[in-house]
A = this chain, B = another copy of it.
Amino acid sequence: MATGRTHRPATRSRGIPEATVARLPLYLRALTALSERSVPTVSSEELATAAGVNSAKLRKDFSYLGSYGTRGVGYDVEYLVYQISRELGLTQDWPVAIVGIGNLGAALANYGGFASRGFRVAALIDADPAMAGTPVAGIAVQHTDDLDRIISENGVSIGVITTPPGAAQQVCDRLVAAGVTSILNFAPTVLSVPEGVDVRKVDLSIELQILAFHEQRKAGEDTTAEDEGAPPMRATPTGRKGPDGDMPAVMPA
């Protein structure tokens, strides 16, 4: 922290670790809840518990913001809410476009949690001509033909892709060409984008597969180490389990 009191508190901005950035929204959520209950201050310990993280980690995270806690007291809730919001860029509102208004796209469009955090659904775009004009969540769906114009006119820089996987890369290219520089991709596809464009993906299948892996491991360790009479340890799906154990399988020639 270097004793010298540089009058600029926060601006260590350049260099907030990615892992920290990913946790800021978590802190913000917990702080917002406290703020609504009019709690004036929190200790790192309390807040860490609420956010589900280690308190030392939380303090270190805040130290990157140059944040002002008060030793012996804790952090000022309102002040932190503002600081984190600012750091995340949530003092502005971000117009977002959703492309591919099917099951998932429609669900997202209807989701209220967007607006409450500074994001505004500015446009819904779909390739199906039949959908053009149809209102979803109170917003008329527009056709892909106008994608470029829609993005430009609304100043959209964040795009959400909820099209089928086959269309994702193409849609992505068009979004980027139109000026979008951040993409949230729900299609199970690896998108390639030019430098300077951020892509984050949400993949339900991957999450489930990771869970399945651990689930299987739990089951396996039961049968290996512990006795089988362990009470509440299922983890053997669908009943079938029997003669399937190792299977040398296909093996290449």
Contacts and interface: CB of A to CB of B under 8 A. Distances in A.
Given A107-B107, A204-B113, A251-B79, A90 B25 contact: no
Which size bracket describes the interface of A in this complex? 35 or more
A49 B179 CA distance: 26
A181 B235 contact: yes
A79 B250 contact: yes
Total identical chains? 2
B25 A206 contact: yes
Given A103-B111, A190-B50, A234-B157, A218 B196 contact: yes
Interface in A207-253: 207-218, 220, 232-241, 244, 247, 249-252
Contact of A238 (B87, B92, B198, B215): B92
A89 interface: yes
The 7 A-B pairs at the shortest CB distance, nearest first, are namely: A89-B216, A76-B252, A52-B190, A182-B211, A103-B107, A107-B107, A25-B209
